[in-house]
Amino acid sequence: MAAVIALAVVGGWLIVAFPFPNLAVVPGVAMVGLAIALRPRFGRLDPELEVLDRDQAPELFGLIDEVATAVGAPLPDVVGVDGAINAYAGTVGLRRRKVLCLGLPLWGSLPAGGRVALLGHELGHFVNNDPRRGLLTQPVFTMLGSAADLFRPVRTNVGAGLVEMLGDALGRAFQWVVSRVLFATYLLLVAVALRDSQRAEYLADDLAGRAAGTTAATEFLDILLITESLELAVRRETRAGHGPDRWRSALAESRVTRADQLPLLRQLSVRDGASLFAAHPPTGVRRQMLAGRAWQDPSVALSEARMERIDAELGREYDRFRRTVNWSG
């Protein structure tokens, strides 16, 4: 980031330091343009996120408040839903607004304890120093990759004379070297940063156990091992005109059916999910780590009646998801 700022400052100085016209303007404009191209991107709200407000979903926001208090996390500035079997927490923009997104198929399918565990895990990312969310560390995941892409050589001088062809070849060779050096540095930084990112996932799992209890938190991690079955069940029930109540029943049936396979799925996740460049540790290892820690009782309880009220608040969003599934064929 300091190098990008230096590019902008020196480039600006070259533009204004000498009377115009002056050849110094050319490298000055080039340096400012390069600084703009390499500027850090701090993200923005997903345009597909359906933002909720407290008046629209008071029960959901009340549950989020309780879980945030239990794990010692700040409240999100934006809460929304989308149609993915996923959930995420992040920070966007220079103001570092905290965003919590709940994927409706996952949220609607989870039992009460699983929902508390999901909130505890995602809100936990606001307090566990995840490098993907830091003001100074988040650009590591974008800036040098953008720089390597910018310097990637592209053949532009076809059919020219010998001198032009030689100049083009030398220019592309220089670009290739710079691009590869930047990309290698990018890979090194990302590999280092993702070690802390995986550590943040373990800490978030621990906070999920603090909020929902170890039993519910480990069961939630097991559910993440069968998301393909969950997706098929949600689509089947949705096309049949059923809502979250049937999604939960279908998930419970799938868990019973695949109970004997869960130990194998945990081992398989370790084999397939272990990587230097994975943002998340293997789910099987996460579950083993959480189960090996001191056992925790739930600090936030979600009753069935309250869960139904929360689903009623999200009725319009569930209907929109149902239409999307039906239209997708």
Which pLDDT value is given to residue 43?
A: 78
Does the structure show a pLDDT above 70 at 329?
no
Strand, coil or helix: 241:
coil
Which ranges of 136-292 does DSSP label H, i.e. alpha helix?
143-150, 162-212, 214-224, 227-239, 244-257, 262-273, 283-291
Query: Is pLDDT larger for residue 136 or for residue 263?
Result: 263
The Cα 18–Cα 201 span in angstroms is: 53
Q: How many alpha carbons fall within 13 Å on the CB side of residue 10?
A: 11
φ/ψ of residue 221, rounded to 5: -65, -35
Query: For the purposes of burial, counting CB atoms within 10 Å of the CB of 295, is it exposed (0-12), middle (13-18) or buried (19 or more)?
Result: exposed
Contact 283, 266 (CB under 8 A): yes
Q: What is the CA 298 to chain-centroid distance, rounded?
A: 26
φ/ψ of residue 153, rounded to 5: -70, 140
Which pLDDT value is given to residue 159?
A: 58
Kindly report, residue by residue over 158-192, the tens digit of the pLDDT: 556 677 777 777 878 888 888 898 889 888 888 88
CA nearest neighbour of 68 among 81, 57, 77: 77
φ/ψ of residue 78, rounded to 5: -135, 130
> DSSP E strands: which ranges in 97-136?
97-103
Residue holding tokens 């050589």? 153
Residues found in the chain: 329
Average pLDDT in the chain = 88
Which pLDDT value is given to residue 192?
A: 84
Residue 153's pLDDT band, with cuts at 50, 70 and 90, is confident
Query: Is pLDDT larger for residue 259 or for residue 79?
Result: 79
Which pLDDT value is given to residue 173?
A: 86
Query: Is pLDDT larger for residue 92 or for residue 299?
Result: 299
Does the structure show a pLDDT above 80 at 249?
yes
CA nearest neighbour of 207 among 98, 293, 105: 293
In one-letter notation, the amino acid at residue 277 is F
Which pLDDT value is given to residue 158?
A: 59
Kindly report, residue by residue over 83-135, the tens digit of the pLDDT: 999 999 988 888 889 999 999 999 999 999 999 999 999 999 998 777 777 77
**What is the average per-residue pLDDT within 248-256?**
90
Provide, rounded to the nearest whole percent, the portion of the chain with pLDDT above 70.
Answer: 97
Query: Is pLDDT larger for residue 212 or for residue 167?
Result: 212
Q: What is the CA 225 to chain-centroid distance, rounded?
A: 18
Domains of the chain, by residue range, sit at 1-39, 50-136+192-327
Which pLDDT value is given to residue 1?
A: 80
Does the structure show a pLDDT above 90 at 63?
yes
**What is the average per-residue pLDDT within 29-37?**
87
Pull the structure tokens for residue 227.
């998301």
Provide, rounded to the nearest whole percent, the portion of the chain with pLDDT above 90.
Answer: 51
Which pLDDT value is given to residue 157?
A: 58
The Cα 34–Cα 52 span in angstroms is: 39
Contact 202, 287 (CB under 8 A): no
The Cα 5–Cα 265 span in angstroms is: 48
Does the structure show a pLDDT above 70 at 37?
yes
